[in-house]
Structure 1
Amino acid sequence: MAKYMLIMRGSDESNAKMAEASFDEMLEVVGRFNEELIKAGVLVAAEGLDDAAQGVVVEWSGETPVVTDGPYGETKELFGGFYILDVATKDEAVEWAKRMPAFPGAKCEIRRVPGVDEFPQDNEWIKKEKAWREQTGQL
């Protein structure tokens, strides 16, 4: 099994459609999808994100980090939430993404999440991370 992150990206079109939709209906549709993921035993985590206007960006383009209040970037650069699935293959992650409830114009980026076991096991920081994961029940 491997972990994959499904990153939900909105567009001007999908964000406008979402703004028109009933919040209760959206919760039901997303809830049903989440329930399918849970029943299949593949859901690791899922979260939506607050409005980009409420966020900040920390940018390291000079000697010291610069903090800029949102909104920031172009709509096509922002993502609105994510799922982390533990599935056998990228193809399986793609199949789940195709079933994800989304508005026209939305996109989903899929990226594998490398496991801690893929890094050099004799590295001091990897050893510390593994110990932390064991202490928190993540291994």
Structure 2
Amino acid sequence: MIKTANRYFNIGLAGKLELIDYYNHHVYPLIKPGRKYRMKQTDEWCAMFTSCIAYMKGIPANHFPYEVSVAQQVQWAKENGAFTRDVRMVDPGDLIVYDWKLNGTFTHVGFVEMVNGNEILTIEGNYSGTVGKRRIKADSKYIAGYIQI
């Protein structure tokens, strides 16, 4: 998954629009009927990015939280026993979930690229308007948990 995600590193607007089109044509049919939503250029797109990459890698719908909502991805993970707060349970390709406002709201998601001691390297869609990388301490108060894939 990480190799595929890295193909989109630092994409511009054209790349973002390509991903949105990909999502709307390929991933959209996998979304639960009551949750179906077609992405627009102005939408937040971190969860959409993770869903596109998982679809490109052929991950079946019962093994990945295909969604455009981070909160819905977390709900799926909790219902399927795939949510953890323990970084020791995390592998590359798993999802990292953030709560930037520290209010219990899941606000951002990306892929764990590597865990190195107390540092996590991620690759995330909608990171400063592109696909970017982040280094964050594993004990950061902003990490709400992880979704195991």
Do the two structures share a fold, i.e. TM-score over 0.5? no
Structure with bigger RCO (C-alpha 8 Å, 6+ apart):
1
Query: What TM-score, normalized to structure 2?
Result: 0.25
Query: What TM-score, normalized to structure 1?
Result: 0.26
- For the pair shown, the structure with the greater C-alpha radius of gyration is 1
Flag the structure with higher helix content: 1
